[in-house]
Amino acid sequence: MYIGIDLGGTNIAGGLVHKDGSVVKIKSVPTGKERGFEAVAQDILTLIKELISIAPQSVDGVGIGVPGVVDKKPVNDLLLYKFVVV
């Protein structure tokens, strides 16, 4: 199983999917970007934890899609909080 996160300007969407691509669950929460990156990052972590908690088997990975250009420089340059860019 995998989790996919889509960070958008309006919503943060998360999906729990089987390895064959079939969707188990989709959840969405408002982005609330005016609260700042730490609050948004915390919402992403909470969404991931919620999806893991309902997964019928272990989750092998999480992918996060973000708007803009991604650079593999230090994570602080990306304003991501507690995430590792690979």
Q: Where are the domains of the chain?
A: 2-78
Mean pLDDT of the chain: 83
The C-alpha atoms of residue 60 and residue 67 are separated, in whole angstroms, by 24
- Report the percentage of the chain scoring pLDDT > 90: 53
User: Would the pLDDT of 40 be above 60?
Assistant: yes
Mean pLDDT of all residues in 18-45:
91
* Residues 64-69: contacts with CB under 8 Å, at least 24 apart: 64/4, 64/5, 64/7, 65/4, 65/5, 65/6, 65/7, 66/7, 67/7, 67/8, 67/9
Mean pLDDT of all residues in 10-36:
93
We find that the CATH architecture of domain 2-78 is 2-Layer Sandwich (3.30)
